[in-house]
Structure 1
Amino acid sequence: NLLPSSAPELSQLPRPIMSDKPDFAEIETFDKTKLKKTETREKNPLPTKETIEQEKQSESTA
C-alpha cells in the first residue's frame, strides 16, 4: 500500500462543481485568423482491389 494511512478515501474527496451549461467564453473570444493554413494529406491510403489481388497472386506463387 503506497498511500499513507491518513489519506482520505476517494468518496471523501471534494468533487469539482460542474455546471449544467457549458462555458462558451473561450469559444466566443477565439480568433480563427490566428490559425495556420494546413493541407490535409492521406498518409496511409487503403490498398486498391487490384493491389490486393496482386499480393494474393504473388503469395500463392512464392
Structure 2
Amino acid sequence: MGGVNGGRIRPGRRFPRQVRFRPRLIQELAMADVAFVVTTIAVFALVALVAKGVTKL
C-alpha cells in the first residue's frame, strides 16, 4: 500500500526557509493600501452626494 508518493503525506521537496527582504515591495504594497483607502472613501463620498441629491427630488 505504497500509494502514489510512497505513502508519504508531504512531498520530498520543501519551501526555502529564508525569504528575501525587498523594501521596494513593502513600499509598493503600502502605496496600494493607501490607494485602496482613498478610492473607498471617494466612492462613499460620491454615494453620499448622490443620495443627498435624490432626497432633494
- Using structure 2 for the length normalisation, give the TM-score: 0.33
Q: Greater relative contact order: 1 or 2 (C-alpha under 8 angstroms, separation 6 or more)?
A: 2
* Higher CA-based Rg: 1
Higher helix share: 2
